Structure 1
Protein backbone atom coordinates (compact mmCIF):
# COMPACT_ATOMS: atom_id res chain seq x y z
CA UNK A 1 0.00 0.00 0.00
CA UNK A 2 1.30 3.44 -0.86
CA UNK A 3 1.36 6.00 1.93
CA UNK A 4 -0.30 9.36 1.43
CA UNK A 5 2.43 11.94 0.98
CA UNK A 6 2.12 15.22 2.87
CA UNK A 7 3.42 18.23 0.92
CA UNK A 8 6.20 18.60 3.51
CA UNK A 9 7.73 15.25 2.47
CA UNK A 10 9.35 16.71 -0.62
CA UNK A 11 10.57 19.99 -2.08
CA UNK A 12 11.29 21.31 -5.56
CA UNK A 13 14.61 22.72 -6.71
CA UNK A 14 15.86 24.20 -9.96
CA UNK A 15 18.93 22.30 -11.14
CA UNK A 16 21.31 22.26 -14.09
CA UNK A 17 20.82 18.91 -15.83
CA UNK A 18 23.85 17.71 -17.78
CA UNK A 19 23.46 15.05 -20.47
CA UNK A 20 26.72 14.62 -22.36
CA UNK A 21 27.57 18.12 -23.57
CA UNK A 22 23.97 19.35 -23.29
CA UNK A 23 22.95 21.44 -20.28
CA UNK A 24 19.44 22.54 -19.46
CA UNK A 25 17.60 23.96 -16.47
CA UNK A 26 14.92 21.70 -14.99
CA UNK A 27 12.85 21.32 -11.85
CA UNK A 28 13.85 18.42 -9.58
CA UNK A 29 12.08 16.80 -6.62
CA UNK A 30 14.07 16.49 -3.39
CA UNK A 31 13.27 14.39 -0.34
CA UNK A 32 12.69 16.76 2.57
CA UNK A 33 14.88 16.50 5.66
CA UNK A 34 14.03 18.42 8.83
CA UNK A 35 14.77 17.99 12.54
CA UNK A 36 12.17 16.45 14.81
CA UNK A 37 12.39 17.08 18.54
CA UNK A 38 10.82 14.31 20.60
CA UNK A 39 9.54 15.17 24.07
CA UNK A 40 7.82 12.96 26.62
CA UNK A 41 5.42 13.71 29.43
CA UNK A 42 5.35 11.28 32.33
CA UNK A 43 4.39 10.90 35.98
CA UNK A 44 1.13 10.81 37.94
CA UNK A 45 -1.67 13.31 37.31
CA UNK A 46 -0.85 16.68 38.82
CA UNK A 47 2.87 15.90 38.91
CA UNK A 48 3.65 15.52 35.22
CA UNK A 49 7.15 16.25 33.94
CA UNK A 50 8.15 17.02 30.36
CA UNK A 51 11.59 16.39 28.87
CA UNK A 52 13.24 16.37 25.48
CA UNK A 53 14.78 12.95 24.82
CA UNK A 54 15.80 13.03 21.16
CA UNK A 55 16.42 15.16 18.10
CA UNK A 56 16.37 13.20 14.87
CA UNK A 57 16.72 14.27 11.25
CA UNK A 58 13.76 12.83 9.37
CA UNK A 59 11.49 13.20 6.37
CA UNK A 60 8.27 14.89 7.60
CA UNK A 61 5.26 12.63 7.55
CA UNK A 62 4.01 9.85 9.85
CA UNK A 63 5.68 11.69 12.74
CA UNK A 64 3.47 10.17 15.42
CA UNK A 65 4.30 6.68 14.15
CA UNK A 66 7.99 7.59 14.21
CA UNK A 67 7.75 8.72 17.83
CA UNK A 68 5.78 5.65 18.90
CA UNK A 69 8.24 3.32 17.19
CA UNK A 70 11.23 5.15 18.63
CA UNK A 71 9.89 4.96 22.18
CA UNK A 72 9.24 1.22 21.82
CA UNK A 73 12.48 0.23 20.13
CA UNK A 74 14.56 2.34 22.52
CA UNK A 75 12.97 0.62 25.53
CA UNK A 76 11.18 3.68 26.88
CA UNK A 77 7.79 1.98 26.62
CA UNK A 78 6.91 -1.71 26.55
CA UNK A 79 3.44 -1.72 24.96
CA UNK A 80 0.62 0.39 23.53
CA UNK A 81 -0.82 0.66 27.05
CA UNK A 82 2.17 2.77 28.13
CA UNK A 83 1.28 5.44 25.58
CA UNK A 84 -1.53 7.84 26.46
CA UNK A 85 -1.31 10.05 23.37
CA UNK A 86 0.93 11.91 20.92
CA UNK A 87 0.56 15.50 19.75
CA UNK A 88 2.44 18.34 18.09
CA UNK A 89 3.58 20.74 20.81
CA UNK A 90 1.57 23.98 20.66
CA UNK A 91 3.98 25.91 22.90
CA UNK A 92 6.89 26.36 20.48
CA UNK A 93 8.71 29.64 20.01
CA UNK A 94 9.02 29.73 16.22
CA UNK A 95 6.42 29.07 13.55
CA UNK A 96 8.76 26.70 11.65
CA UNK A 97 9.00 24.52 14.76
CA UNK A 98 5.24 24.00 15.00
CA UNK A 99 5.24 20.59 13.31
CA UNK A 100 8.82 19.73 14.19
CA UNK A 101 8.28 19.24 17.94
CA UNK A 102 6.23 16.25 19.10
CA UNK A 103 5.30 15.27 22.64
CA UNK A 104 4.34 11.76 23.68
CA UNK A 105 2.26 11.59 26.83
CA UNK A 106 3.00 8.37 28.69
CA UNK A 107 0.36 6.73 30.84
CA UNK A 108 0.45 7.81 34.52
CA UNK A 109 1.01 4.21 35.60
CA UNK A 110 3.71 3.50 33.00
CA UNK A 111 6.90 2.14 34.54
CA UNK A 112 9.60 4.67 33.65
CA UNK A 113 13.31 3.87 33.56
CA UNK A 114 14.53 7.32 34.61
CA UNK A 115 18.24 6.78 33.78
CA UNK A 116 17.22 5.70 30.26
CA UNK A 117 14.74 8.55 29.97
CA UNK A 118 17.32 11.11 31.02
CA UNK A 119 19.76 10.08 28.30
CA UNK A 120 19.76 12.54 25.45
CA UNK A 121 20.06 11.02 22.01
CA UNK A 122 21.13 12.76 18.83
CA UNK A 123 20.29 10.92 15.63
CA UNK A 124 21.02 11.71 12.02
CA UNK A 125 19.97 10.29 8.68
CA UNK A 126 23.26 8.41 8.39
CA UNK A 127 24.31 7.00 11.75
CA UNK A 128 21.14 6.45 13.75
CA UNK A 129 20.96 6.63 17.50
CA UNK A 130 24.41 6.96 19.04
CA UNK A 131 25.53 5.22 22.21
CA UNK A 132 24.76 1.58 21.44
CA UNK A 133 27.81 -0.38 22.52
CA UNK A 134 26.79 -3.98 23.12
CA UNK A 135 24.15 -6.63 22.61
CA UNK A 136 24.08 -7.09 26.39
CA UNK A 137 22.86 -3.52 26.83
CA UNK A 138 19.88 -4.25 24.57
CA UNK A 139 19.07 -7.42 26.50
CA UNK A 140 19.19 -5.36 29.69
CA UNK A 141 16.53 -3.09 28.19
CA UNK A 142 14.19 -6.07 27.93
CA UNK A 143 14.55 -7.22 24.32
CA UNK A 144 13.29 -10.83 24.28
CA UNK A 145 14.69 -13.74 22.29
CA UNK A 146 12.40 -14.58 19.39
CA UNK A 147 10.69 -18.01 19.31
CA UNK A 148 12.31 -20.27 16.71
CA UNK A 149 9.19 -22.30 15.90
CA UNK A 150 6.29 -21.42 13.65
CA UNK A 151 7.07 -19.05 10.79
CA UNK A 152 8.54 -20.53 7.59
CA UNK A 153 9.18 -18.46 4.46
CA UNK A 154 9.81 -19.85 0.96
CA UNK A 155 12.90 -18.64 -0.89
CA UNK A 156 10.61 -17.49 -3.72
CA UNK A 157 9.00 -14.99 -1.33
CA UNK A 158 12.37 -13.53 -0.30
CA UNK A 159 13.36 -13.19 -3.98
CA UNK A 160 10.17 -11.23 -4.73
CA UNK A 161 10.40 -8.71 -1.87
CA UNK A 162 12.68 -6.03 -3.41
CA UNK A 163 10.52 -5.56 -6.50
CA UNK A 164 7.32 -5.40 -4.44
CA UNK A 165 8.92 -2.87 -2.12
CA UNK A 166 10.16 -0.71 -4.97
CA UNK A 167 6.73 -0.68 -6.62
CA UNK A 168 5.25 0.77 -3.43
CA UNK A 169 7.95 3.41 -2.83
CA UNK A 170 6.17 6.50 -4.04
CA UNK A 171 8.63 9.00 -2.57
CA UNK A 172 11.66 7.08 -3.82
CA UNK A 173 10.21 7.08 -7.31
CA UNK A 174 9.97 10.87 -7.14
CA UNK A 175 13.27 11.66 -5.42
CA UNK A 176 15.58 8.62 -5.61
CA UNK A 177 16.83 9.56 -2.16
CA UNK A 178 14.89 7.67 0.50
CA UNK A 179 15.22 4.46 2.47
CA UNK A 180 12.27 2.15 3.04
CA UNK A 181 11.13 -0.42 5.58
CA UNK A 182 8.38 -2.76 4.42
CA UNK A 183 6.40 -5.33 6.39
CA UNK A 184 5.21 -8.39 4.46
CA UNK A 185 3.11 -11.46 5.22
CA UNK A 186 4.85 -14.87 5.11
CA UNK A 187 3.45 -15.28 1.59
CA UNK A 188 4.91 -11.97 0.41
CA UNK A 189 1.86 -9.68 0.58
CA UNK A 190 2.80 -6.07 1.41
CA UNK A 191 1.16 -4.99 4.66
CA UNK A 192 2.87 -1.67 5.33
CA UNK A 193 5.68 0.48 3.93
CA UNK A 194 7.27 3.62 5.30
CA UNK A 195 9.98 5.82 3.77
CA UNK A 196 12.46 8.27 5.30
CA UNK A 197 15.90 9.77 4.72
CA UNK A 198 17.07 7.61 7.64
CA UNK A 199 16.94 3.80 7.65
CA UNK A 200 16.24 3.76 11.39
CA UNK A 201 13.43 6.31 11.03
CA UNK A 202 11.74 4.34 8.24
CA UNK A 203 11.73 1.24 10.45
CA UNK A 204 10.54 3.16 13.52
CA UNK A 205 7.65 4.54 11.45
CA UNK A 206 6.64 1.05 10.31
CA UNK A 207 6.93 -0.41 13.81
CA UNK A 208 5.16 2.62 15.30
CA UNK A 209 2.24 2.16 12.89
CA UNK A 210 1.90 -1.46 14.01
CA UNK A 211 2.16 -0.44 17.68
CA UNK A 212 -0.57 2.21 17.37
CA UNK A 213 -2.78 -0.36 15.62
CA UNK A 214 -2.23 -2.87 18.46
CA UNK A 215 -0.59 -5.36 16.09
CA UNK A 216 2.52 -6.20 18.13
CA UNK A 217 4.32 -8.54 18.39
CA UNK A 218 4.87 -9.05 14.66
CA UNK A 219 5.63 -12.77 14.87
CA UNK A 220 4.06 -13.52 11.45
CA UNK A 221 5.94 -10.77 9.61
CA UNK A 222 8.86 -10.54 7.20
CA UNK A 223 10.76 -7.25 7.15
CA UNK A 224 12.67 -5.85 4.17
CA UNK A 225 14.94 -2.83 4.59
CA UNK A 226 16.68 -0.91 1.84
CA UNK A 227 20.44 -0.60 2.07
CA UNK A 228 22.54 -2.43 4.59
CA UNK A 229 21.53 -4.22 7.79
CA UNK A 230 22.98 -2.57 10.88
CA UNK A 231 22.95 -3.68 14.50
CA UNK A 232 20.41 -0.99 15.30
CA UNK A 233 17.94 -2.20 12.68
CA UNK A 234 18.24 -5.80 13.88
CA UNK A 235 17.64 -4.64 17.45
CA UNK A 236 14.53 -2.68 16.48
CA UNK A 237 13.14 -5.64 14.52
CA UNK A 238 13.73 -7.96 17.47
CA UNK A 239 11.96 -5.61 19.89
CA UNK A 240 8.93 -5.59 17.57
CA UNK A 241 8.94 -9.41 17.45
CA UNK A 242 9.85 -9.67 13.74
CA UNK A 243 11.38 -13.14 13.16
CA UNK A 244 12.70 -12.70 9.58
CA UNK A 245 14.59 -9.64 8.36
CA UNK A 246 15.94 -9.19 4.84
CA UNK A 247 18.18 -6.41 3.55
CA UNK A 248 19.06 -5.36 0.04
CA UNK A 249 22.63 -4.69 1.17
CA UNK A 250 25.17 -6.32 3.43
CA UNK A 251 24.86 -6.86 7.18
CA UNK A 252 27.50 -5.69 9.62
CA UNK A 253 29.33 -8.16 11.86
CA UNK A 254 27.50 -6.88 14.93
CA UNK A 255 24.16 -7.15 13.13
CA UNK A 256 24.85 -10.84 12.47
CA UNK A 257 25.91 -11.42 16.09
CA UNK A 258 22.79 -9.67 17.35
CA UNK A 259 20.48 -11.57 15.00
CA UNK A 260 21.99 -14.88 16.10
CA UNK A 261 21.61 -13.91 19.76
CA UNK A 262 18.04 -12.62 19.43
CA UNK A 263 16.84 -15.64 17.43
CA UNK A 264 16.21 -13.57 14.30
CA UNK A 265 16.69 -14.91 10.76
CA UNK A 266 18.83 -12.39 8.87
CA UNK A 267 19.17 -12.35 5.07
CA UNK A 268 21.44 -10.01 3.13
CA UNK A 269 22.22 -9.07 -0.48
CA UNK A 270 18.61 -9.76 -1.45
CA UNK A 271 18.63 -8.83 -5.12
CA UNK A 272 18.78 -10.33 -8.61
CA UNK A 273 17.30 -13.64 -7.47
CA UNK A 274 19.98 -14.35 -4.87
CA UNK A 275 20.58 -13.77 -1.16
CA UNK A 276 22.64 -14.99 1.78
CA UNK A 277 21.15 -16.34 5.01
CA UNK A 278 23.39 -15.37 7.91
CA UNK A 279 21.48 -16.66 10.93
CA UNK A 280 18.76 -19.18 11.78
CA UNK A 281 18.24 -20.60 8.26
CA UNK A 282 15.61 -23.03 9.55
CA UNK A 283 12.91 -20.40 8.88
CA UNK A 284 13.74 -20.33 5.14
CA UNK A 285 12.14 -23.09 3.06
Structure 2
Protein backbone atom coordinates (compact mmCIF):
# COMPACT_ATOMS: atom_id res chain seq x y z
CA UNK A 1 0.00 0.00 0.00
CA UNK A 2 1.05 3.60 -0.59
CA UNK A 3 0.13 6.52 1.65
CA UNK A 4 -1.44 9.61 0.06
CA UNK A 5 -3.18 12.82 1.13
CA UNK A 6 -6.69 13.38 -0.22
CA UNK A 7 -9.32 16.11 -0.08
CA UNK A 8 -12.69 14.69 0.99
CA UNK A 9 -15.44 16.81 -0.56
CA UNK A 10 -19.22 16.64 -0.27
CA UNK A 11 -22.09 18.36 -2.04
CA UNK A 12 -22.62 20.69 0.91
CA UNK A 13 -19.36 22.38 -0.03
CA UNK A 14 -17.24 21.20 2.90
CA UNK A 15 -13.77 19.79 2.29
CA UNK A 16 -11.08 18.35 4.53
CA UNK A 17 -7.62 16.96 3.89
CA UNK A 18 -7.04 13.49 5.35
CA UNK A 19 -4.57 10.61 5.09
CA UNK A 20 -5.49 7.67 2.88
CA UNK A 21 -3.88 4.65 1.24
CA UNK A 22 -3.90 3.32 -2.32
CA UNK A 23 -3.01 -0.05 -3.80
CA UNK A 24 0.55 0.08 -5.09
CA UNK A 25 0.91 -0.32 -8.86
CA UNK A 26 4.23 -0.59 -10.68
CA UNK A 27 5.39 -1.95 -14.04
CA UNK A 28 7.43 -5.13 -14.28
CA UNK A 29 9.63 -5.66 -17.32
CA UNK A 30 10.08 -9.34 -18.15
CA UNK A 31 13.25 -10.31 -19.97
CA UNK A 32 14.23 -13.70 -21.33
CA UNK A 33 17.98 -14.27 -21.40
CA UNK A 34 18.57 -10.52 -21.38
CA UNK A 35 16.02 -9.68 -24.06
CA UNK A 36 12.91 -7.64 -23.18
CA UNK A 37 9.69 -9.38 -24.16
CA UNK A 38 6.91 -7.63 -22.22
CA UNK A 39 5.89 -5.21 -19.50
CA UNK A 40 3.04 -6.05 -17.14
CA UNK A 41 1.45 -3.87 -14.48
CA UNK A 42 1.20 -5.43 -11.05
CA UNK A 43 1.28 -4.96 -7.30
CA UNK A 44 4.94 -5.67 -6.39
CA UNK A 45 5.69 -9.06 -4.90
CA UNK A 46 6.15 -12.62 -6.20
CA UNK A 47 7.69 -11.26 -9.39
CA UNK A 48 9.55 -14.50 -10.11
CA UNK A 49 6.30 -16.47 -10.05
CA UNK A 50 4.58 -13.87 -12.22
CA UNK A 51 7.33 -13.99 -14.84
CA UNK A 52 7.31 -17.79 -14.86
CA UNK A 53 3.54 -17.92 -15.22
CA UNK A 54 3.67 -15.40 -18.05
CA UNK A 55 6.11 -17.59 -19.99
CA UNK A 56 3.94 -20.64 -19.39
CA UNK A 57 0.85 -18.82 -20.67
CA UNK A 58 2.76 -17.69 -23.77
CA UNK A 59 3.90 -21.24 -24.49
CA UNK A 60 7.60 -20.46 -24.06
CA UNK A 61 8.05 -23.11 -21.36
CA UNK A 62 6.10 -26.28 -20.59
CA UNK A 63 8.00 -27.86 -17.69
CA UNK A 64 9.59 -26.51 -14.49
CA UNK A 65 13.05 -27.55 -15.68
CA UNK A 66 12.66 -25.28 -18.72
CA UNK A 67 13.45 -22.38 -16.36
CA UNK A 68 16.88 -22.41 -14.74
CA UNK A 69 16.69 -19.10 -12.89
CA UNK A 70 14.60 -15.95 -12.50
CA UNK A 71 16.64 -13.04 -11.18
CA UNK A 72 15.98 -9.42 -10.32
CA UNK A 73 17.97 -6.99 -12.46
CA UNK A 74 19.66 -4.02 -10.77
CA UNK A 75 18.04 -0.64 -11.37
CA UNK A 76 19.62 1.51 -14.05
CA UNK A 77 18.23 4.89 -15.00
CA UNK A 78 14.64 3.77 -14.47
CA UNK A 79 13.07 4.66 -11.14
CA UNK A 80 9.50 3.65 -11.93
CA UNK A 81 9.54 -0.13 -11.95
CA UNK A 82 11.39 -3.42 -11.69
CA UNK A 83 13.00 -5.83 -14.12
CA UNK A 84 13.34 -9.61 -13.95
CA UNK A 85 15.42 -11.78 -16.27
CA UNK A 86 14.57 -15.42 -16.95
CA UNK A 87 17.33 -17.88 -17.82
CA UNK A 88 16.00 -20.84 -19.76
CA UNK A 89 17.20 -24.41 -19.61
CA UNK A 90 17.30 -25.28 -23.27
CA UNK A 91 13.86 -24.11 -24.39
CA UNK A 92 13.89 -22.69 -27.91
CA UNK A 93 12.25 -19.27 -28.17
CA UNK A 94 10.62 -18.00 -31.35
CA UNK A 95 11.27 -14.33 -30.60
CA UNK A 96 9.28 -12.94 -33.51
CA UNK A 97 6.23 -15.05 -32.71
CA UNK A 98 6.46 -14.29 -28.98
CA UNK A 99 6.61 -10.51 -29.30
CA UNK A 100 3.96 -10.44 -32.03
CA UNK A 101 1.56 -12.51 -29.91
CA UNK A 102 2.12 -10.36 -26.84
CA UNK A 103 1.23 -7.25 -28.82
CA UNK A 104 -1.84 -8.77 -30.50
CA UNK A 105 -3.20 -10.46 -27.35
CA UNK A 106 -2.83 -7.45 -25.09
CA UNK A 107 -6.09 -5.66 -24.37
CA UNK A 108 -4.64 -3.21 -21.87
CA UNK A 109 -2.20 -1.51 -24.23
CA UNK A 110 0.60 -1.70 -21.69
CA UNK A 111 1.34 -5.40 -21.64
CA UNK A 112 2.26 -5.14 -25.30
CA UNK A 113 5.12 -2.80 -24.45
CA UNK A 114 8.51 -4.45 -24.38
CA UNK A 115 10.38 -2.06 -22.08
CA UNK A 116 9.54 0.10 -19.09
CA UNK A 117 10.84 3.18 -20.90
CA UNK A 118 8.19 2.69 -23.60
CA UNK A 119 5.45 2.61 -20.95
CA UNK A 120 6.18 6.06 -19.56
CA UNK A 121 5.50 8.03 -22.71
CA UNK A 122 5.99 11.76 -22.57
CA UNK A 123 2.96 14.01 -22.97
CA UNK A 124 2.67 17.70 -22.13
CA UNK A 125 1.08 18.44 -18.77
CA UNK A 126 -2.48 19.75 -18.86
CA UNK A 127 -3.07 23.45 -18.35
CA UNK A 128 -3.99 24.46 -14.84
CA UNK A 129 -6.31 27.43 -15.33
CA UNK A 130 -9.48 25.51 -16.26
CA UNK A 131 -11.98 24.81 -13.48
CA UNK A 132 -15.04 22.57 -13.40
CA UNK A 133 -18.29 24.20 -12.32
CA UNK A 134 -21.64 22.46 -11.69
CA UNK A 135 -23.20 24.82 -14.23
CA UNK A 136 -20.95 23.81 -17.13
CA UNK A 137 -22.55 21.80 -19.90
CA UNK A 138 -20.70 22.22 -23.19
CA UNK A 139 -17.17 20.88 -22.68
CA UNK A 140 -15.81 20.85 -26.22
CA UNK A 141 -13.06 20.35 -27.36
CA UNK A 142 -11.54 17.30 -25.63
CA UNK A 143 -9.43 19.36 -23.26
CA UNK A 144 -12.72 20.68 -21.86
CA UNK A 145 -14.00 17.19 -21.04
CA UNK A 146 -13.84 15.06 -17.93
CA UNK A 147 -13.43 11.29 -17.99
CA UNK A 148 -15.76 9.19 -15.81
CA UNK A 149 -14.62 5.66 -14.98
CA UNK A 150 -16.91 2.92 -13.66
CA UNK A 151 -14.17 1.00 -11.83
CA UNK A 152 -10.73 1.57 -10.37
CA UNK A 153 -8.26 3.98 -11.96
CA UNK A 154 -4.98 2.52 -13.14
CA UNK A 155 -1.90 4.28 -14.43
CA UNK A 156 -2.86 3.45 -18.00
CA UNK A 157 -6.22 5.24 -17.76
CA UNK A 158 -4.53 8.41 -16.49
CA UNK A 159 -1.91 8.20 -19.23
CA UNK A 160 -4.52 7.80 -21.97
CA UNK A 161 -6.50 10.74 -20.56
CA UNK A 162 -3.36 12.85 -20.63
CA UNK A 163 -2.67 11.84 -24.23
CA UNK A 164 -6.07 13.32 -25.08
CA UNK A 165 -5.48 16.41 -22.96
CA UNK A 166 -8.26 15.51 -20.49
CA UNK A 167 -7.60 17.43 -17.26
CA UNK A 168 -9.92 15.56 -14.87
CA UNK A 169 -10.54 11.85 -14.30
CA UNK A 170 -13.20 10.69 -11.84
CA UNK A 171 -14.09 7.15 -10.78
CA UNK A 172 -16.50 5.41 -8.44
CA UNK A 173 -13.64 3.32 -7.05
CA UNK A 174 -10.05 3.87 -5.92
CA UNK A 175 -6.99 4.84 -7.97
CA UNK A 176 -3.70 2.98 -7.80
CA UNK A 177 -0.58 4.56 -6.32
CA UNK A 178 1.00 4.96 -9.75
CA UNK A 179 -2.13 6.64 -11.10
CA UNK A 180 -1.97 9.19 -8.26
CA UNK A 181 1.74 9.85 -8.82
CA UNK A 182 1.30 10.24 -12.57
CA UNK A 183 -1.71 12.55 -12.25
CA UNK A 184 0.12 14.74 -9.75
CA UNK A 185 3.12 15.09 -12.05
CA UNK A 186 0.98 15.64 -15.15
CA UNK A 187 -1.19 18.33 -13.60
CA UNK A 188 -4.38 16.27 -13.80
CA UNK A 189 -7.15 16.26 -11.22
CA UNK A 190 -7.88 12.73 -10.02
CA UNK A 191 -11.11 11.94 -8.15
CA UNK A 192 -11.96 8.60 -6.57
CA UNK A 193 -14.92 7.14 -4.67
CA UNK A 194 -17.34 9.45 -6.49
CA UNK A 195 -20.46 8.08 -4.86
CA UNK A 196 -23.62 9.73 -3.64
CA UNK A 197 -22.75 13.09 -2.12
CA UNK A 198 -19.03 12.61 -1.44
CA UNK A 199 -15.76 12.08 -3.27
CA UNK A 200 -12.01 11.91 -2.64
CA UNK A 201 -9.81 14.32 -4.58
CA UNK A 202 -6.29 12.91 -4.81
CA UNK A 203 -4.53 15.52 -6.95
CA UNK A 204 -4.96 19.15 -7.98
CA UNK A 205 -8.19 19.95 -6.09
CA UNK A 206 -7.99 23.59 -7.20
CA UNK A 207 -9.69 22.59 -10.45
CA UNK A 208 -12.99 21.84 -8.67
CA UNK A 209 -15.67 24.27 -7.58
CA UNK A 210 -18.47 23.34 -5.22
CA UNK A 211 -22.04 24.37 -5.85
CA UNK A 212 -23.10 27.64 -4.16
Give the structure-1-normalised TM-score.
Answer: 0.35
Q: Which has the higher contact order (CA 8 A, sep 6+)?
A: 2
Q: Name the structure where helix makes up a greater proportion of residues.
A: 1
Larger Rg: 2
